[in-house]
Amino acid sequence: MTRVERAAIVDTRLQALYPDPPIPLDHQDSYTLLIAVLLSAQCTDLRVNQVTPALFQLAASPDEMSRLAVEEIREVIRPCGLSPRKSKAISELSKILVEKYQGEVPENMELLEELPGVGHKTASVVMSQAFGHPAFPVDTHIHRLAQLWGLSNGKNVVQTEKDLKKLFPESRWNALHLQIIYYGREYCSARGCDGTVCEMCRELYPLRKSPVKLKKP
């Protein structure tokens, strides 16, 4: 089976399982999504969704957030981990949005990546989920599944993103990103499947007997 054939199976199966995948991070607009995605680094979406209501009650706009002390932000987001770094980034990017972009989140990948604490993956999520632009954000979970399913042999998330974009039509990128995440959580978790257990892995590699040795990003 070729990589293209495996991609076609993945596309069909995931579309059937998750025809309309919801955005997992609770948010009201592009700004609150940006903050939620930033907080999700090395933290579960569930935990982020537990923390953001209290944060957004204090400040739900760049102007309001820029007026809070970093320590006040840090105290609220502490359960998400990395709170010193994240609180500083949230404060600084909020001030930049007020001073440079009239309190609006820029609808531009390069400008987003210039903001403190916003890397390529975070910017891709915002471009995709807030603004509807085609993007294929790749985190460690998607990187792992792409290897298990033989869609990429990339040594890092950058190469994996390039491989996935070549395999799937641009019109499917935004949904597929979410569909892969949901499938991984439900059927092919890091603890639950080593490449030989879940239905997708077994369909794509019916003769595979040994666990897959993964290239960590």
Tell me, yes or no, whether 96 and 17 share the same domain: no
Predicted local confidence at residue 215, as pLDDT: 80
Tell me, yes or no, whether 117 and 35 share the same domain: yes
Tell me, yes or no, whether 101 and 51 share the same domain: yes
3-state secondary structure of 24: coil
Q: How far apart are CA 217 and CA 160, in angstroms?
A: 10
Predicted local confidence at residue 58, as pLDDT: 97
Confidence of residue 104 (pLDDT cuts 50, 70, 90): very high
Confidence of residue 169 (pLDDT cuts 50, 70, 90): very high
Tell me, yes or no, whether 142 and 96 share the same domain: no
Residue 169 falls within a domain, yes or no?
A: yes
Q: Which domain holds residue 43?
A: 30-130
Q: Indicate whether 154 pLDDT > 90.
A: no
Q: How far apart are CA 152 and CA 48, in angstroms?
A: 29
pLDDT in tens, 45-99: 999 999 999 999 999 999 999 999 999 999 999 999 999 999 999 999 999 999 9
Predicted local confidence at residue 120, as pLDDT: 95
Residue 80 falls within a domain, yes or no?
A: yes
Q: How far apart are CA 99 and CA 105, in angstroms?
A: 12
Residue 63 falls within a domain, yes or no?
A: yes
Among the candidates 88, 113, 130, a domain finishes at 130
Tell me, yes or no, whether 52 and 110 share the same domain: yes
Predicted local confidence at residue 155, as pLDDT: 87
The CATH number covering residue 45 comes to 1.10.340.30
Residue 186 falls within a domain, yes or no?
A: yes
Confidence of residue 163 (pLDDT cuts 50, 70, 90): very high
Catalogue the active-site residues.
121, 139
The CATH number covering residue 192 comes to 1.10.1670.10
Residue 214 falls within a domain, yes or no?
A: no
Residue 119 CA: distances (Å) to CA of 81, 180, 194: 17, 21, 29
pLDDT in tens, 108-147: 999 999 999 999 999 999 999 999 999 999 998 999 999 9
Tell me, yes or no, whether 126 and 50 share the same domain: yes
Tell me, yes or no, whether 75 and 165 share the same domain: no
Tell me, yes or no, whether 37 and 119 share the same domain: yes
Distance of CA 100 to the CA centre of its chain: 26
Residue 17 falls within a domain, yes or no?
A: yes
Q: Indicate whether 217 pLDDT > 80.
A: no
Residue 151 falls within a domain, yes or no?
A: yes
Mean pLDDT, residues 105-109 taken together: 98
Domains: count for the chain: 2
pLDDT in tens, 13-60: 999 999 999 999 999 999 999 999 999 999 999 999 999 999 999 999
pLDDT in tens, 180-200: 999 999 999 999 999 999 999
CA nearest neighbour of 41 among 118, 148, 155, 154: 118
Among the candidates 83, 102, 130, a domain finishes at 130
Q: Indicate whether 175 pLDDT > 90.
A: yes
Residue 212 falls within a domain, yes or no?
A: no
Predicted local confidence at residue 216, as pLDDT: 76
CA nearest neighbour of 136 among 154, 156, 158: 158
Among the candidates 75, 105, 130, a domain finishes at 130
